[in-house]
Amino acid sequence: MARMKFLCDADRCIECNACVTACKNENEVPWGLNRRRVVTINDGQPGERSVSMACMHCTDAPCASVCPVTCIFSDADGIVLHSKDLCIGCGYCFYACPFGAPQYPRVGNFGSRGKMDKCTYCAGGGGPEAPGSSEEFKKYGSNRIAQGKLPLCAEMCSTKSLLAGDGEIIAQIYKERVIKRGYGSGAWGWTTAYHEGIAV
Amino acid sequence: MLVKRTQGQTRQGALTGTFATQTNDINRRNFLRRSGIAAGALGALGTLSLGTVRKAQAGPPPRPGIGVETRKSICTHCSVGCTVTAEVQNGLWIGQEPTWDSPINRGSHCSKGASVRELVRGERRLKYPVRLVNGQWVRVSWAQAIEGIGNKLMEIRTQSGPEAVYWLGSAKFSNESAYLFRKFAAFWGSNNADHQARICHSTTVAGVANTWGFGAMTNSYNDIRRSKTLLIMGGNPAEAHPVSLQHLLTGKEVNRANFIVIDPRMTRTAAHATDYVRIRPGTDIAVIWGMLWHIFKNGWENKEFIQQRVYGMDEIRQEVAKWPPEEVERVSGAPGEQLEHVAKIFATEKPATLIWCMGQTQHTVGTANVRASCILLLATGNVGGFGSGANIFRGHDNVQGATDVGLDVTTLPLYYGLAEDAWRHWCRVWDVDYEWMLSRFESKKMMESPGIPSTRWFDATLLPEQQLEQTNLRAMVVFGHAGTTVTRMPEAAKGIEALDLLVVVDTVPTSWAVLSERKNDTYLLPAGTAFESSGTRTASNRSLQWYDRVVNPIFEAKADYEIIYRLARKLGFEGPLFKNVKVENDLPSAEDLLREINRGGWSTGYTGQSPERLKAHRDNQKDFDVVTLRAKDGPCKGDYYGLPWPCWGTPEFKHPGTALLYDTSLPVKDGGGAFRARFGVEYKGANLLAEGSYPLGSEIQDGYPEFTLAVLKKLGWDKNLTPAELAIIEKVGGSNADAVSWSTDLSGGIQRVSIEHGCIPCGNGKARAVAWSLPDPVPVHREPIYTARADLVAKYPTLPDAKQFRVPNIGFSVQKAAVDRGIAKQFPLILSTGRLVDHEGGGEETRSNIWLAELRQDMFIEINPADASERGIKDGGWVWVTGAENNSKARMKALVTPRVGKGVAWMPYHFAGWFQGVDQRSKYPTGADPYVLGESANTITTYGFDPVTNMQEPKATLCQIKAA
């Protein structure tokens, strides 16, 4: 069984934000919510690097461990999903997440924030709504996985920096790149998310 | 480390919604997000609720039981030419999918390309025609609008003649619309028809064409994968052409190529460079001569290449000798050792390519900059082969094509010029009588004189008529051109007010609608985006791509073709204008328009790209190689993708197009070529034809002039012409058939025969290092009009005042006055402008696209930390920027960053809707105001025009910044 992961090759990311608008386009995410964003360090200085960040769909996801209503779960592909029917908008997941992924539609404390929203790896909601149905879309956005497609953010990445797919395959692609070009600053966030790095 | 930072920012942000983070790191993105979310943008949104997911009435997912169609178009945001695959159900565009098969983008997009669906269905589009009545926008029907506009135009024509109307077209036109618009202007009787190339790469086209023949990128984005050294000088493709970075970074990785960036700013592109050289804005020639100084001194030049294929390099040596490292550093700030290192790499680690964009072109010395760049390539033999060349990244999606098809004040389509021969050529193609055409114009003189450049239209409106070589402009008809991208906006605002008629045809109202205090005689007409019509566009690499209509024009918008047709009908010349073009339901056929271009575009090889061949390329994208762009298999086998021009001969001749210009390693019939013999056969006794260099398989193994019937006869090759071809040649030539050339022969016979003998129809000449026809035959450094280095003006002054393009260019007087008045003391910071990745051009469309607008919510100015601290300016704080002319001022936020050097400030030019501190939101038609407004950079920019093209100077002027 495939284990789906994200990998951002920071030596290729140019902060073009294709991933951000592709996500908006595919999932019709409204203004103010960002399931994906690009973070730049050393902006304008030597050593400037950018990396695209969203829910990494962690192994033993910390958000799931802290959720008081256990609405967060991993599916068979390792994709971390949640039920908006159960979510009470408490915000605990946000504190637990190392990547700042959970988003809330309103500003305020606890329940008044509304149901948590985050990257679904373009895998819809995981039920009970039918995959690809408009009910599912309204709550969670697109279900590309059900159509055998990968998340649009990675598919549309301008420089093929953001990779999505089976963890072993994308790790292999990254390794080959690093060997060919002779440098690589590592797979950002992998140790935190998946408890492993990529040895080259 | 990165993870931690992410945490900190997003936690704060999402919890409080104000981004009141205590972080000290300087980050443009943070800054923008922080500043925007809190105040302006959300307030501006008004009706938009922050619901979890927007109601999906006109969007995904597909409804069950109804078919979903897939259509291919092309992104409208830059010249890379990314294929957009659209999913359409019930006439609604419901999704975008990656296009893996496109050899150009291989599925990828940038933020703009990934959001084009919103461009089409955006809520802030102009939805119906409106007219300004006593300062209020009033809805009118299309018929009323066309009637009112037509009557006013005819009134102006009767009173002041055809030259009183300005036709400003667009680089977002298809080739067919741009061609039609140029033709329309000709039938109206004026050469006052221009588009964004004027402010983008007009100096490139002039500089490059004057050096080696054709005004375009010599290689392609894809070909950069084969470079060993990439030198990017005056360009920031990571933001302006993001998908090109896929090819650039592959070259860098696979070849372990050198990736050198020379720029005043440490750009997002420079973040990936192996070498970065910071220079003072406006000193490109000094830097290039500084590199050549090392190259000549060390003998790194390619002597054989120069001997065979270059004219005048010895004169260049004399100029270069004046630029030892000390002088280069004194003028440009670039350290000598660093330049020696870069020069050595460029000259010796080959193939090397030189990439430029508007950092070189947008200067008073733009043409000379470009020429110096060409000379660097020529001296090192880095042109005419794979991995090398002048990779000039054009701006808009069809700025190359619109230039090619002649939407330009200096020429008819395909660079034929404006002389009588050119008019006669196109009258033959258009099937109209030359005398009738002449009668449309004020005079033969006006018919053959270049019109007013788009940078000068308001001078032609405001200056006293005795200073002009034509009547004052009284009407502007603007199709798809931002109101904010031309310099000196305070004067443009006055110009708009002085007009008797303003017509804006666009998808959004644009800043033209709000900039002035006009009260009447102003129309806004809703145009469809390119996704609402079909046609071809030419990417920067000269490939033509056919694109389909994704959806019918939405709201009351109409396709450009139809709007032009309706206007022509009202003005009474739709009959001759569309003589060879089928018109159905008022919509002219794009296919027929392309066929007409094919019938006349011999000079540039726009003849082989028939609609049928281009559609076959669209349908078989998978067969084309990502490096060479050549089809390995399938029905297009052997063709280069998009039949990059020149694609010689008729479509039936099946020329594959030319992926690399001037490449002698291939036969001409396979895309080979040579420098064009455009400048004669000799100059002052020196041979201008190539010596011992010729395309592979050429029967003439030396240089030769352009082909004419007379040349064919001399060679005895005229016998290879078919009787039908000969008949056409004789008809074209009349009594002087021998003079009919490869570019005027409507049969294509001369091209066919010369190519079958292995020869290139335009001749095999030398490139000109010395272009004697230009104001500076050898490029020389000249200080910007408003320079921070007044001490250098005496030695490097700008050119004397002169009259160009019917208007005066008083740059010398302005520069002298600025120095005499000590302007640089009052305005000590050098001001430069440029692009952000999420916006394009004036930002008129992208600031109305909700997904892009959210990413950039505030106008800002970048200022170095040292300059900021001297002025007490804080990162994110409000500042007033003041300019050196018009008492101009603009209020925006400060971004304190070492991205710019000390003494330099930088602004993006995508914003509008605030003018000198005043919010103009209320002046937009209801519901059509962009999500994001801001001050325009060009409010602050100043006088200065390139003598060859009247390119403006937005890259090097002066300003002062104060905390607000």
CB hemisphere CA count around B536 (13 angstroms): 37
CB contact under 8 A, A105 and B98: no
Q: Do A38 and B271 touch (CB under 8 A)?
A: no
On whether any CB of chain A is under 8 Å from the CB of B822, the answer is no
Looking at the complex, does the CB of residue B11 fall below 8 Å from at least one CB of chain A? yes
Put simply, whether B5 touches A (Cβ < 8 Å) is: yes
pLDDT at A111: 59
Q: Where are the domains of chain B?
A: 2-38, 69-121, 131-194+399-589, 202-392, 790-963
Smallest Cβ–Cβ distance between A39 and the set B5, B60, B252 belongs to B5
Residue B237, preceding peptide bond in cis (omega within 30° of 0): no
User: Using CA atoms, how far apart are residues B779 and B762, in angstroms rounded to an integer?
Assistant: 26
Please report the residues numbered 325 through 344 in chain B whose beta carbons come closer than 8 angstroms to any beta carbon of chain A: none
Q: Which one has a higher pLDDT value, B6 or A34?
A: A34
Whether A52 is covered by a domain: the verdict is: yes
In A, minimum Cα distance to B37 occurs at A32
Q: Is residue A58 part of a domain?
A: yes
DSSP string of A21-89? HHHHHHHTPPTT--SEEEEEESTTSTT-EEEEEE----TT-HHHHH-TT--EEE-TTS-EEE-TTT---
Listed in sequence order, the residues at least 6 apart from A103 whose beta carbon sits closer than 8 Å to its beta carbon are A33, A34, A35, A116, A117, A118, B14
Q: Which helix (H) or strand (E) element contains residue B204? A: helix B202-212
Full domain range(s) for residue A67: 4-194
Whether residue A98 and residue B27 make contact (CB cut-off 8 A), yes or no, is no
**What is B69-121's CATH number?**
2.20.25.90
d(CA B858, CA B428): 52
> B115 touching A, CB under 8 A?
yes
> Does B239 sit within 8 Å of A16, measured CB to CB?
yes
Domain B202-392: which CATH number of 3.40.50.880, 3.30.420.40, 3.40.228.10, 3.20.20.70? 3.40.228.10
Say if residues B675 and B690 touch (Cβ distance below 8 Å). Answer: yes
Closest-CA residue to B179 (of B201, B195, B165, B200): B195
Q: What is the pLDDT of residue B61?
A: 86
> B202, B244, B203: which is closest to B225 by C-alpha?
B244
Asked if residue A168 is part of any domain, the answer here is yes
For the segment B253-272, what is each residue's pLDDT rounded down to a tens digit? 999 999 999 999 999 999 99
The domain spanning residue A148 has which CATH number?
A: 3.30.70.20
d(CA B640, CA B486): 36
B9 touches chain A (CB under 8 A): yes
Query: In Å, how far is B610's CA from the nearest CA of chain A?
Result: 31
Domain count along chain A: 1
Amino acid making up residue B246: Q
* Residue A133 counted as domain residue: yes
Q: Which residue positions in chain B have pLDDT lower than 50?
A: 1-56
Number of other CB atoms surrounding residue B444 within 10 Å: 11
Residues composing chain A: 200
- Architecture category of domain B790-963 in CATH: Beta Barrel (2.40)
In a domain, residue A71? The reply is: yes
Residue type present at position B168: L
Q: Which CATH number fits domain B131-194+399-589: 3.90.1210.10, 3.50.30.30, 3.20.20.450, 3.40.50.740?
A: 3.40.50.740
- Element containing residue B544 per DSSP (H, E): strand B544-547
If 0-12 CB within 10 Å is exposed, 13-18 middle and 19+ buried, where does residue B275 land?
middle
Angle between helices B28-38 and B2-16 (to 10 degrees): 10
Instruction: State ipTM.
Output: 0.96
A164 band by pLDDT with thresholds 50, 70 and 90: very high
Q: Partners of B479 in the beta sheet?
A: B505
Q: Is residue A200 part of a domain?
A: no
Q: What is the pLDDT of residue A17?
A: 97
Phi, psi of B279 (to 5 degrees): -130, 165
Question: For B776-825, how does the pLDDT look when each residue is reduced to its tens digit (9 = 90+)?
Answer: 999 999 999 999 999 999 999 999 999 999 999 999 999 999 999 999 99
B112/A contact by beta carbon, under 8 A: yes
Whether the pLDDT of residue A196 is over 50: the answer is: yes
Q: Both tokens of residue B538?
A: 């030419």
* Nearest CB partner across the interface for B56, out of A16, A40, A137: A137
Assess contact for B660 and B627: CB atoms under 8 A. Answer: no
Q: Which residue of B has its CA nearest to A191?
A: B3
* Residues in chain B closer than 8 A to A40 (CB atoms): 27-29
Cβ–Cβ below 8 Å for A31 and B850: yes
Calculate how close chain B gets to A71, using CA atoms only, in Å: 17
Find out whether B890 and B936 touch, Cβ atoms under 8 Å: yes
Can you tell me the distance from the alpha carbon of B206 to that of B846, in angstroms, rounded to the nearest whole number? Answer: 30
Q: Are B780 and B319 in contact (CB under 8 A)?
A: yes
Mind listing the pLDDT tens digit for each residue in A48-69? 999 999 999 999 999 999 999 9
B577 phi and psi angles, rounded to 5 deg:
-65, -35
For residue A128, whether the previous peptide bond is cis, meaning omega lies within 30 degrees of 0, is yes
The shortest C-alpha distance from B32 to chain A (Å) reads 12
Residue B864's closest CA among B899, B908, B825, B909? B899
Buried b (16+ CB within 10 A) or exposed e, B873-884: bebbeebbbbbb
| Chain B closest-CA separation from residue A156 CA (Å) | 4
User: CB distance from B243 to chain A under 8 Å?
Assistant: yes
